[in-house]
Amino acid sequence: MAIICHISLSQGISIQLPEFQVQPMDFVDRRAAVIGLPLYLKCQAKSHDVVTYRWMRNGSEITPGSRIKLINGDLTILATTRRDHGQYQCFATNQWGTSVSRLAKVDVGNRVPIPHNLPDTVKRLGSGVMLNCNLPSTRIIPPIVNISWVRRQDNDDQHQTQEHHVTSTDRLFISKSDGNLYFSSTQSKDAGVYRCVVTQIFYLVSNDSFINVHIYGQWQRLNFTNQPPIARVPTAIARPLRDMTVLAGSQVKLECITYGKPTPSIMWLYNDQVLSTHPLIRTQNHQRELIIEKMQPNLRGTYSCYAFASATSNFSECEINVIQRPKWRIPLQNANVCFTKNVTIPCMAEGDNLVYLWYHNGKRIYNSNKYTISPLGNITVNNAIIEDAKMYTCIAINSMGNIVSNAYLNVHGCPPTLIKVPHEEVIALIGDSVSIDCVAEGIPEARAQLIKNNRYVNLDIHNHITYARGFGFTIHSLKPTDEGVYKCGASNVYGRTQSQGIMINVCRETTASVLPRRTQAPIGSTITLTCLINKDRRLATTVHWYKNDDKEALRNDRQISISIYNETTSQLIIRQAGINDSNTYNCVVISFVPTGNTRKFARAEGNVIIQGPPLPPVDLRYNLNRNNKTVLITWRNGKDNNSPILHYKLYIAMNSNRYHLLKDHIPVWQASATIMSVYPYNIYRFAIVAVNKLGPSPRAYLYMNDTYFEVPGYPPLRVRARYDHEKKGIVVWWKSIPRLFHFAPGFGYRIILNEMAALGNTIQRVINLTDSNANHTIITGLQEGKRYVIRALTYNNVGITLDPHQNLTVRFGTQPPLGIVKNVSVYVISYSSVVLTWSFFSESDHGTTSGNNIIGYRVELMSNEEVSKTTTMTLYHRNTILLDKLDENKNYIYRINAFNEGGDSKTYLQSSLDLIDPVPGPVKHLIAREIDIGTIRLDWQPPVVIDGSVTSYTISYGLAVKRNDEWQVNIQDGNLTSMLLYGPFIDGKYRFTVTASNKNGGGLPMSVMAMARSIIPSSPFNLQLLNVSQHSALISWQVRELDITGFIVEYKESTTSRFSLYDDNIPDDSREVELIGLAPNTAYEIRLKTKGLKAHSPASNSLSIQTLAEEPMEVSTQFYNQPWFIVVVTSVCSLTVLIVAVAVINYKQHHSSENAIRNIRDKGQDSAGYTITIKRNESSTKAKLTNVAMKNVNRMENSVFYTCSGNTAIVYCSDSLEKEKNNRNNRNSCIDNDMDSKYHNVNIA
């Protein structure tokens, strides 16, 4: 038998753990840990019992000795060495356990050694200089309080020279981090001897104070070379910024040390943004130092130093990360755990990058089967036993420090545990017995208890409740007062426990209701009745639906479906409900009570009324009044199908046409309607419809066919006439009148033809057409050249009807227009106005109208093809029309055809109009005027826009005469009201058109005419050949302008396709030129161009010439044809020719070079000329140059100037003629010498 010894913290036994009063600092820096000096680490704990101490370094226990002393918990190292560097920890132990102190990191350092015999620094005057203090790494020396520099003049006698402290200026800076002295740029006065002075601080543990120690460096000399001073030094960062991690709340200093002349300015940035004003951030020493007084986590990020001066700049940046010291969020608390149970001890701290260390009674513990340590710091002790008690220590540590917390874990006996509890809700009737399970265990044994409504039940008082050990409680003879929530409870010396409560219910009566209680719905609807059931949710129930008093319950079929009962609701759904489904529906709920096996009934009902469209009216009658041409129709109401009739509708149809609505919303009480203006000679059919809120009834019909007679309602529509050459007559055609408007029997068409005879008399011919469907006729036997006036009318047995405005005139023998109207542009400028424009394309003259002599157009507008809404408009010499006062709710159709004296064109254009998406109208007050030669200014005012605003303008312009070339400018600024147009213009009248656009598209164009003068001169004309020989030709020409600069002559042989330049420097006052060097007996073509101030004219028409052939040599029989004479003369001539040839060659080589230079310079005085530049190592287009005149040729390094004549190129290098080369080889001595012997392209600059 196991004996469990336990200590209960709740029973008043006091556990006194060692509580640290003094702990070692978490970081001992080099001020207190100096090699060769004593090191003191303090540790004191409070306890009622005796406390023993021990120390560990780097995980190993420290053994006291002659150098290391342990006195009352304090650790003393008499002479510190480098081996004493590491982590220290103090352990305090009493009878309850061991407490662990925080970790103390000891950093051992040394006094700063400053090297001697520093070399002299010799720099060029003006450059940046650094004098090195040569501090060793700060990780092995005590902290430095201050670093300063002193200077004395360059004098060998050091005892007679005073020392001066060096102060920081905008040019000098002493770094607080490395101790060096920096000169941004040097001046002559900076020469001298310098040294640094280092002040260190040391902590004396004996008297708990600090002392300062001054250490002086070696003198070092700064001299300058004899080189001239540097005028400008680029900006540079002398020492880049370094990334760092700092403690939250600490002071941070950044140094931006620069070189540069002039002295650079410094700007600090934070996260690539200029550092704004912040209460914790300031700068000093000419912006070189950035100081953050108390570093906060929200200030972590990238800090950049940006230095700039004149045109140079540089920058350096670093990342600063902020780490917070550990701080307890949940320190350890003493805890209790039941024997063999698991317990979790929370340990949570605040800080960055935290690591948690756990100790059990001074011994480090790790994750194992016994211990589970979470990353958040908590530890779980699994299956706790007596040995798991005593002290637990948690240390939270990061790079900035550590904190420690201790607590005691007590392991004791077990409180009660319920192993059998009530778990099901009980529904019972009065008088039944109910059992409640309740069995518990614990150490010591637990006692079971019954709890009702959170109160313990006294079994002595409630004698109808009994308890059986190992089973539980029983309530006998259940009463209404026994209803409530019951729990099973248990208790022992270690605690109490209780189960979840269960409800013991006493059944109550079930009730039901149907929603909605009254339902009205149209025929074909889906009716849903919901039966809401109020019952105990544990009672078993069933639901049935009945129709009125039927004995059989309703069942699911195609029309009726009953939803699955879900204990609280049941739904009856009637699909496609009809009038016969109107009735009362009952919901019956049957409840089954477990106790007693009884059934109870609940009943509810709902009324359903199905409504439908009414039945048609009955007893329809009509009464025709012929005097006022009206009909009165009467009827009686039909059945309303459970929904009152709201009004009636009257439909009408004439003859074989379809019905259409004539009258709507006829009152119910009226039950009659009067039809006005009954058309004669027509059969009328009427239909009456009754309407309620469910819709219209079927139609009830009434027929009437005994109307009266009248003359036809309309004359022929769309009458057109034209001369037909093939049929030798005049064709008249029209649109037939519908049967509705015949108005009497005997309907037909009558065509009246009036011939204009002599003396103003007329000859009339009448043609009657009895076919009511006729739509054309041909009139023949007419005289050539006669004009005929044609009229068309309708007639019946009552009389005739004619249109006094529809007279057509046709000249017999004149060809009517052949073609069709095309390119119709429709501009909807408002919801009631449309502008149409069009053009006529002839079939006889390929798109022109001159051959047809068109004198006008006929435009016909119809509304929905209704005869009464047709309008014909005749336009003379216009191809645009405004259609206004239209109805935006109607659709329109228009037709357009052309006519002349020969009548109407055979074809027409027909299309529909939709009054949607209006576009802008024409711009207002459009004005075009020439403000300079080649410049036209357009001004206008914005158009009227119905939908939105103007988004853009389109400007097109071209010669007013018919030409294919036209320019267009698109403007995306809808607010613009003026525009300057810069050519190209030639002399003449131009048409300028401005079109505004909105979101729907382009609007109605507006045009204006204006004269423009050309900046391009006109071509020469009237070219004539004045004289021609075997090798030359003299030509002349004329030109209109006077303000010109010269002429260009081009020529080619007739057998070739391309012209070549002959001369482009013909003076402006010349009107003749002689072409020389032509081949004999050759056909040439010659053309000229006029040179203007800004551009050249197009080429003139070519002049064809033929040079003369060479005359053949005559054969002579004189003495000089004798062989002996030929031999003598040949010998003498050969010698003479040889001598002359040598002289001529030498002369020409010298003379041709001088003439070439002279010609180039002479031509350069009166010609604009070209400058030819050869570019090295570039890809350029080669230029063919002929007779190019040079002007303003300046001496340029590595520049080459060309002029060419024929296939010879004269090359100028540095204003001097070097040599002549063939144009196919663009190499030259100056190119070879000055331009690295590279091939180069010749470009016109």
In this predicted model, what pLDDT tens digit does every residue of 210-261 receive, in sequence order? 777 788 888 888 898 888 998 899 999 999 999 998 888 888 999 999 999 9
Q: Reading across the β-sheet that carries 465-468, which strands appear in turn?
A: 434-437, 472-475, 465-468
Burial (CB count <10 Å: 0-12, 13-18, 19+), residue 98: buried
Using pLDDT thresholds of 50, 70 and 90, give the confidence band for residue 1052: very high
Distance CA 940, CA 361 (A): 99
Most confident of 100-109, 571-580, 587-596, 802-811: 571-580
Least confident of 585-589, 1115-1119, 1168-1172: 1168-1172
The position carrying tokens 């200030």 is: 299
Q: Residue for token digits 């909807």? A: 828
Tell me the residue type at 27.
F
- Using CA atoms, how far apart are residues 720 and 549, in angstroms rounded to an integer? 81
- The partner residues of 995 in beta bridges, in order of sequence, read 954
**Torsion 198-203-204-207 (CA) sign:** positive
CB 194 within 8 A of CB 220: yes
DSSP-derived letter for residue 158 is G
* Among the listed residues 194, 116, 112, the one whose alpha carbon sits nearest the alpha carbon of residue 148: 194
CB neighbour class for 1236 (10 Å; exposed up to 12, middle 13-18, buried from 19): exposed
pLDDT in tens, 969-995: 898 888 999 999 886 777 788 899 999
Predicted local confidence at residue 851, as pLDDT: 43
Using DSSP's 3-state secondary structure scheme, residue 758 falls into: helix
Q: Distance between CA atoms of 1231 and 374, rounded to whole angstroms? A: 84
The residue to which tokens 């407490």 are assigned = 99
Which H or E run contains 956? strand 952-959
| Model pTM above 0.85 | no
- pLDDT (0 to 100) of residue 868: 59
Reply yes or no on whether the pLDDT at 9 is more than 70: no
pLDDT at 919 over 90: yes
The structure tokens listed for 535 are: 């019952």
Q: Give the integer Cα–Cα distance in Å for 848 and 484.
A: 108
The pLDDT of residue 444:
75
Q: How far does CA 1200 lie from the centroid of its chain?
A: 53
Mean pLDDT check: name the lowest of 478-482, 886-890, 1172-1176.
1172-1176
Count of C-beta atoms within a 10 Å radius of residue 171: 18
Using a 10 angstrom Cβ sphere, with 0-12 exposed, 13-18 middle and 19 or more buried, the burial of residue 965 is exposed
- Spatial separation of the C-alpha atoms in residues 1131 and 1120, rounded to whole Å: 14
User: Residue range 1025-1052: average pLDDT?
Assistant: 89
Q: Is the pLDDT of residue 571 over 70?
A: yes
The more confident residue out of 844 and 1158 is 844
Asked if 405 and 328 count as a contact pair (C-beta separation under 8 A), the reply is yes
Q: DSSP assignment of 410-471, as one string? A: EEE----EEEE---S-EEE-TT--EEEE-EEE-SSPPEEEEEETTEE--TTT-TTEEEETTT
Give CA–CA dist 1242/921, Å, rounded. 56
Contacts of 660 (CB under 8 A, 6+ apart): 651, 652, 653
pLDDT at residue 1179 is higher than 70: no
Of 332, 379, 329, nearest to 350 (Cα)?
A: 329
For residue range 511-532, list pLDDT tens digits in order.
899 999 999 888 888 999 999 9
Name which of 1054, 922, 1058, 1045 is nearest 994 in CA terms.
922
Q: Is 1017 helix (H, G, I), strand (E, B) or coil?
A: coil
pLDDT the model gives residue 1085: 93
Digit-coded pLDDT (tens) for 333-369: 888 888 878 899 999 898 888 899 999 988 889 999 9
Question: Contact at 8 Å (CB) between 977 and 940?
Answer: yes
Q: 679-693, 855-869, 1042-1056: which range is least confident on average?
A: 855-869
Contact by Cβ (8 Å): 251, 291 = yes
Does a cis peptide bond (omega within 30 degrees of 0) precede residue 1098? no
Q: How many residues does the chain have?
A: 1245
**Segment 722-748 mean pLDDT:** 90
Exposed, middle or buried: residue 790 (CB in 10 Å: 0-12, 13-18, 19+)?
buried
Judged against a pLDDT cut of 90, whether residue 696 lies above it is answered with yes
Widest distance between CA atoms in the chain = 185
To 5 degrees, how large is the angle CA 871–CA 877–CA 880? 55
Q: Enumerate residues 6+ apart whose C-beta is below 8 A from 803.
A: 715, 716, 719, 792, 793
In degrees to the nearest 10, what's the CA dihedral of 795, 801, 804, 809?
Answer: -20
Q: Give DSSP secondary structure letters for 98-153.
A: EEE---EEE--B-PPPPPSSPPPEEE-TTS-EEE------TTSSPPEEEEEEEEE-
184 φ/ψ angles, rounded to the nearest 5 degrees = -60, -40
Q: Which of 861-870, 1021-1030, 1114-1123 has the lowest mean pLDDT?
A: 1114-1123
- Asked if residues 492 and 416 have their Cβ atoms less than 8 Å apart, the reply is yes
Q: Which residue, 637, 641, 644, 646, is CA-closest to 609?
A: 641
Sort strands 598-611 and 583-593 into parallel, antiparallel or unpaired: antiparallel
Class of residue 183 by CB neighbours under 10 A (exposed 0-12, middle 13-18, buried 19+) = buried
Lowest mean per-residue pLDDT among 307-321, 666-680, 851-865, 1175-1189: 1175-1189
3-state DSSP percent of the chain in helix, strand and coil, to 5: 5, 50, 45
**The dihedral of CA 1038, 1043, 1045, 1050: what is its sign?**
negative
- Distant-in-sequence, close-in-space partners of 482: CB < 8 Å, separation ≥ 6: 434, 475, 504, 506
Place of tokens 């305090």: 92
Say if residue 1241's pLDDT is above 50: no
Secondary structure (3-state) at 504:
strand
Amino acid identity of residue 935, one-letter, is: T
Question: H or E stretch including 1135?
Answer: helix 1123-1165
Task: Determine the residue type at 416.
Answer: P
φ/ψ of 69, rounded to 5, equals -120, 140
The full DSSP string for 193-216 is EEEEEEEEEEEETTTTEEEEEEEE
Confidence band, pLDDT 50/70/90 cuts, at residue 732: very high
pLDDT of residue 580: 86
Token pair belonging to 840: 């006529």
